[in-house]
Amino acid sequence: MNKGRLIVFSAPSGCGKGTMLEEICKDDKFSCSISATTRAPRVGEVDGVNYHFLTREAFEKLIAEDGMLEYAQYCENYYGTPLKPVNDMLDAGKNVILEIEVQGAMKVKALRPDALLIFVLPPSIAELRRRLLKRGTEELDVIEKRVSQAAREIDEAVNYDYVIVNDALEDAVADFKAVIKAESLKTEFAAEQIHEVKKNA
Amino acid sequence: MNKGRLIVFSAPSGCGKGTMLEEICKDDKFSCSISATTRAPRVGEVDGVNYHFLTREAFEKLIAEDGMLEYAQYCENYYGTPLKPVNDMLDAGKNVILEIEVQGAMKVKALRPDALLIFVLPPSIAELRRRLLKRGTEELDVIEKRVSQAAREIDEAVNYDYVIVNDALEDAVADFKAVIKAESLKTEFAAEQIHEVKKNA
Q: How many CB pairs (< 8 A) connect A and B?
A: 120
Structural domain including A178 reads 6-198
Query: Best-predicted range by mean pLDDT among A13-22, B11-20, B24-33?
Result: B24-33
Asked if the structure places residue B127 within a domain, the reply is yes
Is the CB of A181 less than 8 angstroms away from the CB of B178? yes
Is the CB of A193 less than 8 angstroms away from the CB of B163? yes
Is the CB of A175 less than 8 angstroms away from the CB of B190? no
Specify burial of residue A134 (Cβ count, 10 A radius: 0-12, 13-18, 19+): exposed
pTM of the model: 0.90
Domain count, chain B: 1
Rounded to the nearest angstrom, the minimum Cα separation between B166 and chain A is: 11
Is the CB of B154 less than 8 angstroms away from the CB of A194? yes
Is the CB of B126 less than 8 angstroms away from the CB of A201? yes
Mutation target for B interface from A197, A199, A200: give the one with most B CBs within 10 A.
A197
Q: What per-residue confidence (pLDDT) applies to A44?
A: 92
Q: How far apart are CA A67 and CA A61, in angstroms?
A: 8
Asked if the structure places residue A103 within a domain, the reply is yes
Asked if the structure places residue B27 within a domain, the reply is yes
Asked if the structure places residue A177 within a domain, the reply is yes
On the question of pLDDT at B17 being above 70, the answer is yes
CATH code of A81's domain:
3.40.50.300
pLDDT band at A62 (very low <50, low <70, confident <90, very high): very high
Rounded to the nearest angstrom, the minimum Cα separation between B116 and chain A is: 11
Asked if the structure places residue A15 within a domain, the reply is yes
**Nearest-10 Cα torsion for B177, B51, B152, B12:** 40
On the question of pLDDT at A201 being above 80, the answer is no
> Which ipTM value was assigned to this complex?
0.89
Short-list A71, A179, A166, CA closest to B162:
A179
Asked if the structure places residue A181 within a domain, the reply is yes
- What does chain A come to in residues? 201
On the question of pLDDT at A1 being above 70, the answer is no
Asked if the structure places residue A1 within a domain, the reply is no
Asked if the structure places residue B52 within a domain, the reply is yes
Q: How far apart are CA A120 and CA A154, in angstroms?
A: 9
Name which of B155, B157, B181 is nearest A178 (Cβ-Cβ): B181
